[in-house]
Amino acid sequence: MALIEVNFDGIVGPTHNYAGLSLGNLAAAQNAGAPSHPRAAALQGIAKMRANLRLGLAQGILLPHRRPNREWLATLGTEPATAGQLWSAASSASVMWAANAATVSPAPDTADGRCHLTVANLVTMPHRSHEWPETLRQLQLAFAHPGFAVHGAVPPPFGDEGAANHMRLCERHEAAGVEVFVYGVGGGAFPARQHRVASEAVARRHGVTALFAQQSPAAIAAGAFHNDVVAVANEHVLLTHEQAFADPARLYAALRARLPGVEIIEVPASAVSLADAVASYLFNAQLVTLPGSGGMALILPSEAQTHARVWRWLEALAAGNGPIRRLVPVDVRESMANGGGPACLRLRVVCDPATVDPRFLADEAKLGLIAAAVSAHWPERVDAAAHAALGDWPAAEAARRALLAALDLLELA
């Protein structure tokens, strides 16, 4: 079985909007109430996937959920027309950030030799807490092959935010790796979203011997609400901010003991501050291995290129003799304005693509079908002032259904 890394990107849904629902996400708070552009947002994500295909990377997709979520509102005794403030939470398109869909442990790491996925419960934020049942349904469909084990969510109150707080390091994707679960400790102005109890539960379910590292309280306070805002790993490389972890020396020593060939690239705070890292999202990048002997590339938001101190440091990194040789800026500005960069938009799964439901795998032709559906049905602009008046939002549901029909996935309707 040929194991490779496949990036499954979330397609931005037609209800994409800026409601400022995510406490601790500075971009979401700063842009609350601004008009959003769902069509442009989805097309930007599709363009990123196309660029990844041109780099020779394997690409998958995850689908938008039905919004507003009337079933969730019904459990709260209301409906879209009368939901008030709950309407925004029921209409969020935040499922686009597939890094929060699940935690993934590839087959080489697990006790039973299967690829394990545990859907994230996302209980800390109300607008995301109702995502997991539909996400679970999609994962069970996409990964129905017996080589996968798909698990339901860890029960509340133990918050689990999925792959955004999980890293895997290995010599090669298909080799056994070291999994690192990053958790937070509460007490600051912003909530710590990943609980250690949840991380430990996922590791036990998956049958992996993992490392557990505490996220730095300073990073959370600076707006790094997930670890992937301050650190990213790929194969044997860890690219991390100096202040990402509460006890970096201990983590680095444990990594070197488990994976002697690990390369740790620590970005000093004197060169790039936490504020710089959060503003540019340089760590919320896809660190990928290029086919052949191309080394590694860092697929970055274009905001990193326009931030002088950040780009200067990155250019020096790429010009050096290290493993990261190429910088690839991409335009995902609509996602970035809500606090999600290239890494937020994708879930990494190391697997044999032949074992995945092919409807969830993407090529140029399929991305063309998706782009056509988006161009025909996604709204061009959503104004915050008129947002709640949309109620059931039938146009958004019709748009999603058109996409599902184009992909032969109407069982998800």
Dist. CA 408–CA 356, nearest whole Å = 15
Residue 125 in tokens: 């934020």
Please name which of 272, 187, 260 lies closest in space to residue 221, comparing C-alpha atoms. Answer: 187
Token digits for 241? 């901010």
* 72 φ/ψ angles, rounded to the nearest 5 degrees: -65, -45
Selecting among 115, 170, 344, 351, the annotated active-site residue is 344
Buried b (16+ CB within 10 A) or exposed e, 9-20: bbbbbbbbbbbb
Active site residue 173: no
- Sheet-wide strand order for 286-289: 286-289, 296-301, 324-330
Q: Which of 173, 226, 241, 307 is catalytic?
A: 226
Q: Which of 5, 131, 134, 161 is catalytic?
A: 161
Q: Is 131 a catalytic residue?
A: no
Angle, alpha carbons 253-258-259 (nearest 5°): 95
Joined together, the tokens standing for residue 40 give 């442009």
The answer to whether residue 226 is catalytic is yes
Q: How far apart are alpha carbons 113 and 135 in whole angstroms?
A: 23
Q: Please give the Cα distance from 52 to 8 (Å, whole number).
A: 11
By annotation, the residues acting in catalysis are 161, 226, 344
